[in-house]
Amino acid sequence: MKAAASPPGLVMPHIRPGRILAWTLLFIGGVIMVTPLLFMLSTSLKDASQVYDLRVIPETPTLDNYIEILGDGRFTRWLVNSTIVAVIVTLSNVFFDSLVGYTLAKFRFRGRYVVFIAILSTLMIPTEMLVLPWYLMASQFGWIDSYWGIMFPGMMTAFGTFLMKQFFEGVPDDFLEAARIDGLNEFTIWWKIAMPLVTPALSALAIFTFLGNWTAFFWPLIVTTSAELYTLPVGLSSFAVEQSIQWEKIMTGASIATLPTLIIFLFLQRYIVRGVMLAGLKG
């Protein structure tokens, strides 16, 4: 360390130019991301006549929209639907993705590599291409317009399987072999030994899956026909097409829909950050 250039007693924090640039970029990024959210919130507090008045702070803020939306049976129904779908799909992914990932990581069997490549290759196919076969499948089996119809394509994902496989590969074989010698069966070894060792990966998987399904729009829109089975995003979009576009209602619904996401983030921030870092994903 070189002696500080400033006179004694006057402590000037040394700020590098790189820092300033980084902060500026982060600030701009933050503003860009937060602005739509602010508008969403602000619009939800306006009445229909003020919607096109683009002030951020509403002139006469009102909670009427919230009261109306939450009192509307349809909306609560959609909220429940979304919760059911997101929770079940998440549990299913946590269970099956890790079961398959573990098997691929820790067992040597004929065809293992082929299975792995097959799973991996489905990662390359965009959802838009899969929707048609999904739809055909759903209509063949009579799953259109049912919870199962909404959920089945996501019950297991190639990405989750791949993620969990990578993590299970980091679990030392000794841990499993010691358990084998002690007489635990293979399922118990997975459940009691291997799973607890990959909790950071499991929480990352759970969070991503939940958020992905909570905000899913395209497939639920296609597979549902009756309003009782809409998920929140689909339901909210249906506001847009009734009579005239009711922006204040849509924004109110969206604000409420964002709430679980925010809560999850606030409570699980630590895990999300760790999970993102672990999974090697970018924000």
Alpha-carbon span 211 to 36, nearest angstrom: 19
Q: How far is the CB of 192 from another protein (least distance, A)?
A: 9
Q: How far is the CB of 183 from another protein (least distance, A)?
A: 4
Nearer to another protein, 194 or 257 (CB): 194
Q: How far is the CB of 173 from another protein (least distance, A)?
A: 9
Binding string to another protein for residues 165 to 184, with x set by CB under 8 A, is what? -------x-xx-xxxxxxxx
Alpha-carbon span 134 to 154, nearest angstrom: 11
* Category of 201 on φ-ψ map: left (φ > 0), alpha (ψ -120 to 50) or beta: alpha
**Does 106 sit near another protein (CB under 8 A)?**
no
Alpha-carbon span 44 to 65, nearest angstrom: 7
Nearer to another protein, 156 or 184 (CB): 184
Query: Is residue 102 a contact partner of residue 164, using CB atoms and an 8 Å limit?
Result: yes
Q: How far is the CB of 98 from another protein (least distance, A)?
A: 15
Query: Is residue 215 a contact partner of residue 233, using CB atoms and an 8 Å limit?
Result: yes
Alpha-carbon span 9 to 282, nearest angstrom: 43
Nearer to another protein, 155 or 171 (CB): 171
Instruction: Pick from 88, 91, 197, 221 the residue near another protein by CB under 8 A.
Output: 197
Q: How far is the CB of 174 from another protein (least distance, A)?
A: 4
Helix, strand or coil, per DSSP, at residue 145:
coil
**Does 193 sit near another protein (CB under 8 A)?**
yes
Instruction: Specify the residue for token string 């060792």.
Output: 197
Nearer to another protein, 128 or 174 (CB): 174
Helix (H) or strand (E) holding 213: helix 199-214
Binding site for another protein (CB under 8 A): 172, 174-175, 177-184, 193, 196-197
